Chain A
Amino acid sequence: MDVMPKWADVVLVPLFSLVLAAFLSALLILAIGESPGEALKLMVQGTLLRSAGWGYMLYYTTNFIFTGLAVSIAFHASLFNIGGEGQAMMGGLGVSLVCLFIPWPHWSLAIVGASVGAAVFGMIWAGLPAYLQAKRGSHIVITTIMFNFIAAGVLNFFLVGALKPKGSMDPATANFPASTHLPTFEDMAQLLGFEKMFRSAPANVSFFIALLACVAVWYLIWRSPLGYEIRALGKSGPAARYAGVGSVKIIMITMMISGALCGLMAINTTQGESERLILNFTEGAGFIGIAVALMGRSHPLGVLLAALLFGFLYQGGAELALWTKIPRELIIVIQALVILFTGALTMMVRAPLERLFLAAWRG
Chain B
Amino acid sequence: MSFIKSILGSAAAVALTATAVLADPAIIFDLGGKFDKSFNEAAFKGAERWADETGGSFREVELQSEAQREQALRRFAEAGNNPIVMAGFAFADALSKVAPDYPDTKFAVIDVNWLDMPNVRGIGFNEHEGSYLVGMLAAQASKTGTVGFVGGMDIPLIRRFGCGYAQGVKAVNPNATVIANMTGTTPAAWNDPVKGSELTKAQISQGADVVFAAAGGTGVGVLQTAADEGILSIGVDSNQNYLHSGKVLTSMLKRVDIAVYEAFKSGNNLETGNFTGAVGYAMDEHNASLVTAGMQAKVEKALASITSGALSVHNYTDDETCPAVSF
Residue numbers of A with Cβ under 8 A of B are 45, 49-50, 52, 56, 59, 156, 160, 167, 169-171, 199-200, 202, 269, 273-274, 278-281, 283, 317-318, 321-323, 327-328, 331-332
Contact at A49–B3, with CB atoms within 8 Å?
A: yes
* Cβ of B10 under 8 Å from chain A: yes
Beyond A200-B74, A281-B66, whether A171 also contacts B186 by CB under 8 A is yes
Residue numbers of B with Cβ under 8 A of A are 2-3, 6, 10, 33, 59, 61-68, 70-72, 74-76, 89-90, 93, 98, 101, 153-157, 185-187, 317, 320
Q: Which of chain A's residues have a CB closer than 8 A to the CB of B59? A: 322-323
A sample of 5 inter-chain contacts (CB < 8 A) reads A169-B155, A170-B90, A283-B66, A322-B75, A328-B62
Q: How far is the CA of A129 from the CA of B3 in the complex (A)?
A: 49
Nearest CB to that of B93 among chain A residues? A170
Q: Which of chain B's residues have a CB closer than 8 A to the CB of A269? A: 67
Q: How far is the CA of A328 from the CA of B34 in the complex (A)?
A: 11
Q: Which of chain A's residues have a CB closer than 8 A to the CB of B65? A: 280, 283
Contact at B71–A56, with CB atoms within 8 Å?
A: yes
Beyond A56-B71, A156-B185, A167-B320, whether A45 also contacts B66 by CB under 8 A is no
Contact at A59–B67, with CB atoms within 8 Å?
A: yes
Q: Which of chain A's residues have a CB closer than 8 A to the CB of B157? A: 169
Beyond A45-B6, A328-B64, whether A167 also contacts B156 by CB under 8 A is yes
Contact at A200–B187, with CB atoms within 8 Å?
A: no
Contact at A160–B66, with CB atoms within 8 Å?
A: no
Q: Which of chain B's residues have a CB closer than 8 A to the CB of A52? A: 74
Q: How far is the CA of A160 from the CA of B187 in the complex (A)?
A: 11
Contact at B155–A321, with CB atoms within 8 Å?
A: no
Contact at A321–B64, with CB atoms within 8 Å?
A: yes
Q: How far is the CA of A156 from the CA of B186 in the complex (A)?
A: 7
Q: How far is the CA of A279 from the CA of B66 in the complex (A)?
A: 9
B156 to chain A minimum Cβ distance, whole angstroms, is 6
Contact at A160–B64, with CB atoms within 8 Å?
A: no
* Residue picked from B66, B67, B72, B101, most chain A C-beta under 10 Å: B67
The 9 closest A-B pairs by CB, nearest first: A160-B185, A169-B155, A49-B6, A283-B65, A328-B62, A322-B61, A321-B61, A49-B3, A169-B89
Q: Could you say which of A49, A59, A279, A321 contacts B186, with CB atoms under 8 Å apart?
A: A279
Q: How far is the CA of A317 from the CA of B155 in the complex (A)?
A: 31
Q: Which of chain B's residues have a CB closer than 8 A to the CB of A332? A: 64
Nearest CB to that of A319 among chain B residues? B75
Q: Which of chain B's residues have a CB closer than 8 A to the CB of A202? A: 67
Q: How far is the CA of A300 from the CA of B61 in the complex (A)?
A: 36
Beyond A49-B6, A156-B185, whether A274 also contacts B66 by CB under 8 A is yes
Given contacts A169-B155, A327-B62, 18 further A-B contacts (CB under 8 A): A50-B6, A56-B71, A59-B67, A156-B185, A169-B156, A170-B89, A200-B98, A200-B101, A269-B67, A273-B67, A278-B66, A280-B187, A283-B65, A321-B62, A321-B64, A323-B59, A328-B33, A331-B64
A175 to chain B minimum Cβ distance, whole angstroms, is 8
Nearest CB to that of B69 among chain A residues? A274
Nearest CB to that of B66 among chain A residues? A278
Q: How far is the CA of A130 from the CA of B76 in the complex (A)?
A: 47
Q: How far is the CA of A269 from the CA of B154 in the complex (A)?
A: 25
Nearest CB to that of B2 among chain A residues? A49
